[in-house]
Structure 1
C-alpha cells in the first residue's frame, strides 16, 4: 500500500499541487468487484481545499487515473454502518449516497478518522458521522495497531502529524532516498529489514543528540553568572531608592515655605478684588456703547428707526453724565477723559439736530415742486424709449412710429424748467437737455439688427439719465450750501483768533460729520425728486426682457458699467444706489434667461422616424456663446457669464446623453459623437477659458464614442471571423497555451481555414460597401464626419487584421494559413468605396 500511495502522490496529486493524506482500497457495494481507491487530499496552496478523490487503474492496467473528485464541504454524512462490530462497509453522502466496501476494516477506520480530522480543522460546516465509535473520532483506530506493518504505514497518513507537518520531498531528498534504497537492495523486497536498519541509524543519531545536550553545561554556568549579576543590580537600585527618600524629605521643607507664601498671596488677592470692584463701578456707569456713540454722531434723523436710536443714545448719555462718583474718582485721568467725551458728544448731537430741523423746513418746498416737474418729463422720456424698443420687434412689418409728437411734448415742458434759472439751475438744465432729444433719433438707427438697436436704445437711456441726476445733485448741494456748516466756521474763527479749544478734534472728525450729514440730506432730496426713475427703469427692463430674453445680456453689461462709473464718482450717491437696485433686477432676469434655456433643453423631444443630427439646444448654445462673447468682451461682470456658461454646458452634456439614450432611429454613439464634436468645435473656436475642462471633456467623449461606433460597426462585415478569434482569445485567457489552441476541436486548423474561406476579398469589399451606406444613413450632413468615421474604420480594420495575423502566427505556427486578402487590398477597398460615393 505504501508503494501505491507513493505512486499516486507522484503521478496524480503532485502535478495538481495536492497532498495525499489517506487512502482506502474500495469497491462499490452490491456490484461486480472493480477495485478503486478513495483518497483524502488537501491543496498545498492557501486557501486550503479539501477533497475526496476516486482513483482507479486504467483499462490497460499500467497506470492510475483520476476518475472523480468531491469537495469535502459538500459531504453531508459519513455512515460507518456499525460502531461496535468490525464491518468494512461505509457510505458517503454527497449530492447522492455512495456505498463502498473497503478491503479491510482497518483501512476504513483510518480513512474515516482522517476525514473527521480534516473536517474539524478546515470546515465550519461540520460533517455528521453516524455509527462511528467516539474512540475512532478522537485517535487512530486500535485496529490499525493489529494490522500488518505495511498497511499500518499506509493509513498513518491520516494522523495529526501528517496533517500538520507533511512536506513534499524535494529533488535532493528524493535522490538521497533512491541512493539509500539502491545501496540496500532488499529495501523493496524486505521492507521490515530496511525499516530495522533505519531504526538502528536513528538510535545512533539520538545518542549523538544526547551527547550534544550534555555538552551544553557551559551555557548553564553562564546563565547562573547572569543571575548573580542581576542580584547585584537589585542592590544598586535599593541604594538609589534610599537617596530618593532623603530628597523627598527636603521637598517637604520647601512645601512648608510655599504654604507661608500662599497666605501673602491671599492678602494680595483681597486687595485686587476691592480694586476690581471700583473699576467695575466706573465701567458700568460711565461706559457708553459704540452703538450709542454712532447714533449721536451720525444717526439718521429722518427715519423712525434712526430717531428711536438717537433718543435711546441721548438718554444713555444723560445717565452717564449725571452719575454720582465716589470720593477720589474725579482725580482719575480716565474719568476726566470720559467726561470730556460725553460733553463733545452732547454738543455734536445738538448741532446735528438743529441743522436737521432747519433743512426739513427749507428743503420741503423745493422738493415738492421739482418732484411733480420731473415726474412728467421722465414718464414721457421712458414712453418714447418703450415705443422705440417695441418698434425694433415690429419693424419687419414696415410700421413707423411718430416720435416727434412725443419729443415735442418733452420740449414743451422745458418752459417750466426755465423758471428755475433764477435759482441758479440754468447750467443744470443745459447739461440734461439731451434727454429731450431721444425722440429725434433718425430712422437710419433702425437699420441694424434688432438686438443691436435695443442695445443702443438702452445705452441712450442710461447715458441721458446719468448727467441729469448728477447735475441735479450738484445743484442741490451748491444751492442749499450744504458744504458749509456753522460749527466748522466757528472752529476756524476760534483757531484764527488764537483761542485753542479745550480738546483738539481728531483729524477728519468734523469733515466726517459734515460729509455724512450732507450725503444723507442730498440722498433724501434726490430720492423724492426722482422717485419715479427706478420704477420706470424696471418697467423698461421688463419690456426688453419680454421682447427677447437675450436682451438681459446687453442690459447686464450696460447697467454694470454705469453702476461702476457712478460708484467711482460717489459710491453713496442717489444715482449709484438707484442703478445698483436696478442692477439686481437685471441680474435676476439674466439668471431667468439661463434657467429658461436649461428648461428648453430638458423639454426637447426627438422624432422617432428621422435621424437626430445636431440637437437644437447644442446649436442654441453656440448661438448664445457667440452673442455673449461679443457682448461681454472686456465687461466688468464677466464672472456672471462664466458661471452661466458652466451651468449651460453641464445641462447640454446631460441632455445630449439623455437624447442619445432615448434615440431609436440613430445609434447612441452617433448622437454622442456628432453633438460632442460640434460642442468641441464651438469651444475651440470661441476659446472660453472657464470652459477649458469641458472642452477637453467634449473631445474625450467625441473620441470615445467615435471609437465605440467604429468598433461596433466593424463587427458586421467579418462577423464569423470575429467570433472565431474571440473564441481563440477566450481559450488562451482560460489558461490554454497558445500553441495548443489548434488542438481544440472547435478551433483547429480545419475550422480556421473554413472560416477564412468565407471571406474572400470580394465579399469583404461588398460588406464594407454596405457598411459605408449604413454609416452614411446614420450621420448628419452638418458635421461632415463621414470621411473622419470612414478613415477611423480603416485604421481599426487594419489593426484587427494585424491582430488576427498575430493570433494565427502564435496559435497555428507553421500552418501556412493566411487571410484571403492583404492590407493593401483593404486600403484599396476603403479608398474606392469612399470615391464611388
Structure 2
C-alpha cells in the first residue's frame, strides 16, 4: 500500500498542491466492479481544503486518474456498520449515500480514523460517526501535517532532508540572537517554533505553482489567465498579511517580503507588456474596415475584443492596487490606440452616411464636397446657394422650405427623400448609441472604475481640465478622448442635412431629442448623454433658424400688380408645414418646441395676409382677407392643433367679417340709384322728419320714387346680377372654391335689402301702391339661373 500511496502522491496529488493522508482500497457494496481507491487529502495552500478523492486505474491500466471528488465539509455521516465485529463495509453520506466495501477491515478502520482526525482538526461542523469503535476515535490529531494522519512512521510522505546552506545560516543567526539557545535548548526550540509559525499562521507561504504562474504563466490562454489571477490574488494576500509587532524584523519574514516584492514586480512587467501589445495590435488592426458594413450603414462591433480583454479585468484590478503607475500607463495606451481605431471607423461611417443623404451618385458627392471627417461643403458658391440635387424622378430646390415662395407646390415636396433622410439619421444615432454604451461599460469593468468614490485619474495629466473627483469623471475623460470625433462628425452631418433641406431640422430635432431622453434615462452623466445633449443644442438652433427663415420670407413677399392674389403661397406653405410637422412630432418629447414655432408662424401669417391685402391693387382687400383666412380656418379645423385654438377662432371671425363686407359692398352696384335713394330717405328720418312726411320732400316724393324704381325692371336687375357674378368670379380664386358661398351670401343679402326697401315704402309712402318691378321669387330665379349658366 505504501508504494501505491507514493505513486498516487507523485502522479496525482503533488501536481495539484495536495498531500495524501489516508487511503483505502474499495469497491461499491453489492456490485462486482473493478476496485478503486478512496483518498483523504489536504491542500498545501492556506486556507486548507480537505477532500475525499476517488481514484481508479485507467481503462488500459497503465496509470491512475481522478474520477470523483467530494469536499469533507459536505460529509454529514460515516457509518461503519458494526462497532464490535469485523466488517469491511461502510457508508459515506454526502449529497447522497455512497456504500463501499473495503478490501479489509483494517484498511477501513484506518481510513475512518483518518477522516475523524481531519474532521476534528479542520472542520467547524463535526461529522457524525455511527457504529464506529471508540478506540478509533481516541487518538489525538498529529500537529504536523507532513506526518500521515492515518498511519505511523511508515506512512510518512515527507522523508528526512538535510538543511540547506541558507537554512543553516538562518538557524545560526537566530541562535546568536537568542542568548539561551545553547543553555536552554527547550526554550530555544519553543522560540524557533513560534517564529516559524509566523509564516504559517499569517499565511505568508506561496505555493510553487503560484510562483511559477507569476514568473512565466501563460497570459494568452483562459486556463493560464485563470492561474495567473489565482496566483496574483494569493500573492497580494500574502503581502497584505497583518504582522504582529516585531515580526517584520524576522529574517524569514523579511526574505519572504523581498521574494513577494520581486514576484510582484516581475508579474506586473509581464502583464503590462502583454496588454500593451494587445492594445497596440488592436489599434493598428485594419481588418475591421467599413467595407462590409457600407450597404446597411452599420459600425463594426467590438464585442469580441471586449470579451477577450475582460478576462484580464481581475488582473487589471490587481495592477491598480499594486502598481498604480503601470495601471495608469496601460490606461493611456488603451485610450491612445483605441481612439485611432474608432476615429477611422467613425470617419468612414459618417462618410457613407453623408453620401447616402446627398444621393449615391458621384455628382452628389462632388457637389456637396464630402471630403474628410470635417464634412466641409466644398462645392462651388452657386451650389451652396442653390443646393440642388438631380434625382432620378424629380428636381427640386434642396433648401426646400415649404414656405419658400419659389418652391411651394405639393408636387415639389419629395416625401420619399425626407423619409429616406429620416431613416438614415435614425440609423446613425442607433448605431452610435450601443457603440458608446458598450465601450463605456467595458472601460468601467476593465479598468475597475466604479467602486471607489475618489481617485486620481491616469489621464488628468494629458487633459487640460481640472482634476476630476470621481471615477465617473475618469470614465468620462477616457470616453471623450476615445470618441473625440463623434460630436464633430454629428455636427457636420447635421449641417449637411440642413443644407440639403432646411425642414430636415424637424426630423433631427425629434430623433435627437428622443435619443437624448433615452440616454439620460440610462445615465444622465454618461458620455453619450452629454454628447447628444450638446448636439441637440445645435439641432434646436437650426430648427429655430428654419422658423425664422420662413417668417423672413413672408415679410419679403412681393405680389403681382397685374394678377389676382388668391391664396398666398405662405398660407399654403404653413398648411404643408403643419401637416408635415404633425406627422413628425406625433408622440415626440419636444412637442413644446413645435407649439412655440406654430404660434410664431401663425402670427406672422396673420400679419402678412393683412399687409398683402392692404397693398393689393388688382384684388379687393376683402377678397384677399376672406379667402386666405378661410383657408387658414379650414387648415386649423382639420388639423386640430390645440395650441392654435384661439387663432382658429380668430381666423373664422376674420373670414366671416370680410365675406359680409365684400358682399355688401359688391351688391351696392346693381341697384346703385335705388340704394342711394333709400339712403337719402333714411337720412331724412334720422334728421327728424316723420316717416309719413318724407313723401312731401321734393327729392323724395312719390314721383321720384317711381322714376328710380322704373330704372330697375326685372330684366335690368338680372343683367346687373350677371355682371356682378362675372366680377366676383374674376376676384375669387379657383382653389378656394368660395364662389358659390359668396353668391349664396349675396342672394341672402339682396333679399334682405329687398325686404328693407319694401318696408321703407310701406312706412314712408303708405297707400301709394308703389311696388318693385320684380319679386323675391324673381330674384331667386335670377340667382339660380346665373349660377347655372356659368
* TM-score of the pair, normalised by structure 2: 0.51
Q: Distance in 2 between matches of 1:626 and 1:442?
A: 14
Contact 1:391 1:401 in 2 (8 A): no
Q: What is the Cα deviation at residue 368 of structure 1?
A: 1.7
Q: CA deviation digits over 1:421-477, x for unaligned, max 9?
A: 999999999999999999999999999710000000000000000000000000011
Q: What is the Cα deviation at residue 813 of structure 1?
A: 1.6
Q: What is the Cα deviation at residue 585 of structure 1?
A: 0.3
Q: Distance in 1 between matches of 2:42 and 2:27?
A: 23
Q: Distance in 2 between matches of 1:175 and 1:351?
A: 32
Change (3 A) 1:393 1:619: farther
Change (3 A) 1:84 1:44: same
Q: What is the Cα deviation at residue 188 of structure 1?
A: 179
Q: What is the Cα deviation at residue 379 of structure 1?
A: 1.0
User: Partner of 2:377: helix, strand, or coil?
Assistant: helix
Change (3 A) 1:149 1:820: farther
User: Partner of 1:206: helix, strand, or coil?
Assistant: helix
Q: Distance in 1 between matches of 2:678 and 2:164?
A: 42
User: Partner of 1:439: helix, strand, or coil?
Assistant: coil
Q: What is the Cα deviation at residue 131 of structure 1?
A: 164
Q: What is the Cα deviation at residue 748 of structure 1?
A: 1.5
Contact 1:407 1:436 in 2 (8 A): no
Q: Distance in 2 between matches of 1:559 and 1:353?
A: 42
Contact 1:393 1:547 in 2 (8 A): no
Q: Distance in 2 between matches of 1:538 and 1:711?
A: 58
Q: What is the Cα deviation at residue 779 of structure 1?
A: 0.8
Contact 1:740 1:811 in 2 (8 A): yes
Q: Distance in 2 between matches of 1:555 and 1:783?
A: 34
Between 183-192 and 752-761, the greater mean CA deviation after superposition: 183-192
Change (3 A) 1:439 1:105: closer
Contact 1:805 1:818 in 2 (8 A): yes
Q: Distance in 1 between matches of 2:199 and 2:762?
A: 61
The structure with the largest alpha-carbon Rg is 1
User: Partner of 1:145: helix, strand, or coil?
Assistant: coil
Q: What is the Cα deviation at residue 162 of structure 1?
A: 157
Contact 1:404 1:439 in 2 (8 A): no
Contact 2:46 2:203 in 1 (8 A): no
Q: Distance in 1 between matches of 2:155 and 2:704?
A: 54
Counterpart position of 1:126: 126
Q: What is the Cα deviation at residue 9 of structure 1?
A: 155
Q: What is the Cα deviation at residue 710 of structure 1?
A: 0.5
Q: CA deviation digits over 1:511-570, x for unaligned, max 9?
A: xxxxx7122111111111111111110000000000000000000000000000000000
Change (3 A) 1:194 1:642: same
User: Partner of 1:286: helix, strand, or coil?
Assistant: coil
Q: CA deviation digits over 1:578-635, x for unaligned, max 9?
A: 0000000000000000011111111111111111111111111111111101100110
Q: Distance in 1 between matches of 2:203 and 2:515?
A: 50
Counterpart position of 1:257: none
Q: Distance in 1 between matches of 2:692 and 2:59?
A: 30
Contact 2:25 2:35 in 1 (8 A): yes
Change (3 A) 1:368 1:186: closer
Contact 1:111 1:155 in 2 (8 A): no
Q: What is the Cα deviation at residue 377 of structure 1?
A: 1.2
Q: What is the Cα deviation at residue 484 of structure 1?
A: 2.8
Counterpart position of 1:684: 637
Change (3 A) 1:186 1:636: closer
Q: What is the Cα deviation at residue 316 of structure 1?
A: 43
Contact 1:381 1:438 in 2 (8 A): no
Q: Aligned Cα RMSD in Å? A: 48.9
Contact 1:54 1:68 in 2 (8 A): yes
* Structure richer in helix, relative to its length: 1
User: Partner of 2:374: helix, strand, or coil?
Assistant: helix
Counterpart position of 2:536: 583
Q: Distance in 1 between matches of 2:336 and 2:44?
A: 105
Between 773-782 and 156-165, the greater mean CA deviation after superposition: 156-165
Q: What is the Cα deviation at residue 73 of structure 1?
A: 130
Change (3 A) 1:532 1:752: same
Q: Distance in 1 between matches of 2:694 and 2:43?
A: 28
Aligned length, in residue pairs: 731
Q: CA deviation digits over 1:396-415, x for unaligned, max 9?
A: 999x9999999999999999
Q: Distance in 2 between matches of 1:801 and 1:743?
A: 23
Change (3 A) 1:645 1:774: same
Counterpart position of 2:306: none
User: Partner of 1:440: helix, strand, or coil?
Assistant: coil
Between 662-671 and 70-79, the greater mean CA deviation after superposition: 70-79
Q: CA deviation digits over 1:250-299, x for unaligned, max 9?
A: xxxxxxxxxxxxxxxxxxxxxxxxxxxxxxxxxx9999999999999999
Change (3 A) 1:46 1:805: farther
Change (3 A) 1:381 1:807: same
User: Partner of 1:441: helix, strand, or coil?
Assistant: coil
Q: Distance in 1 between matches of 2:536 and 2:521?
A: 16
Contact 1:670 1:706 in 2 (8 A): yes
Q: Which has the higher contact order (CA 8 A, sep 6+)?
A: 2
Q: Distance in 2 between matches of 1:49 and 1:712?
A: 110
Contact 1:181 1:187 in 2 (8 A): yes
Q: What is the Cα deviation at residue 769 of structure 1?
A: 0.5
Between 788-797 and 363-372, the greater mean CA deviation after superposition: 363-372
Q: What is the Cα deviation at residue 394 of structure 1?
A: 8.9
Counterpart position of 2:261: 343
Change (3 A) 1:312 1:690: farther
Q: Distance in 2 between matches of 1:23 and 1:808?
A: 139
Q: Distance in 2 between matches of 1:133 and 1:293?
A: 44
Contact 1:756 1:820 in 2 (8 A): yes
User: Partner of 1:620: helix, strand, or coil?
Assistant: helix
Change (3 A) 1:821 1:737: same
Change (3 A) 1:542 1:126: closer
Change (3 A) 1:813 1:127: farther
Change (3 A) 1:550 1:836: same
Q: CA deviation digits over 1:54-106, x for unaligned, max 9?
A: 99999999999999999999999999999999999999999999999999999
Q: What is the Cα deviation at residue 825 of structure 1?
A: 0.6
Contact 2:247 2:253 in 1 (8 A): yes
Q: Distance in 2 between matches of 1:432 and 1:595?
A: 14
5+ unaligned residues in a row in structure 2: which ranges? 283-332, 462-468
Change (3 A) 1:36 1:834: farther
Contact 2:403 2:573 in 1 (8 A): no
Q: What is the Cα deviation at residue 746 of structure 1?
A: 1.3
Q: Distance in 2 between matches of 1:350 and 1:80?
A: 53
Contact 2:387 2:500 in 1 (8 A): no
Contact 2:83 2:132 in 1 (8 A): yes
Change (3 A) 1:52 1:453: closer
Change (3 A) 1:571 1:192: closer
Contact 2:199 2:205 in 1 (8 A): no
Contact 1:40 1:114 in 2 (8 A): yes
Q: Distance in 2 between matches of 1:161 and 1:743?
A: 156
Q: Distance in 1 between matches of 2:684 and 2:181?
A: 47
Change (3 A) 1:401 1:206: closer
Counterpart position of 1:157: 151
Q: Distance in 1 between matches of 2:132 and 2:684?
A: 47
Q: What is the Cα deviation at residue 483 of structure 1?
A: 2.4
1:87 aligns with 2:87: yes
Q: CA deviation digits over 1:499-518, x for unaligned, max 9?
A: xxxxxx99999xxxxxx712
Contact 2:402 2:576 in 1 (8 A): no
Contact 1:286 1:338 in 2 (8 A): yes
Q: Distance in 2 between matches of 1:181 and 1:329?
A: 17
Between 34-43 and 736-745, the greater mean CA deviation after superposition: 34-43
Between 367-376 and 651-660, the greater mean CA deviation after superposition: 367-376
User: Partner of 1:432: helix, strand, or coil?
Assistant: coil
Between 31-40 and 325-334, the greater mean CA deviation after superposition: 31-40
Q: What is the Cα deviation at residue 776 of structure 1?
A: 0.8
Change (3 A) 1:583 1:809: same
Contact 1:404 1:440 in 2 (8 A): no
User: Partner of 2:90: helix, strand, or coil?
Assistant: strand
- Show structure 1 runs of 4+ deviating over 4 A: 1-137, 144-207, 284-364, 392-398, 400-448, 505-509
Q: What is the Cα deviation at residue 485 of structure 1?
A: 3.3
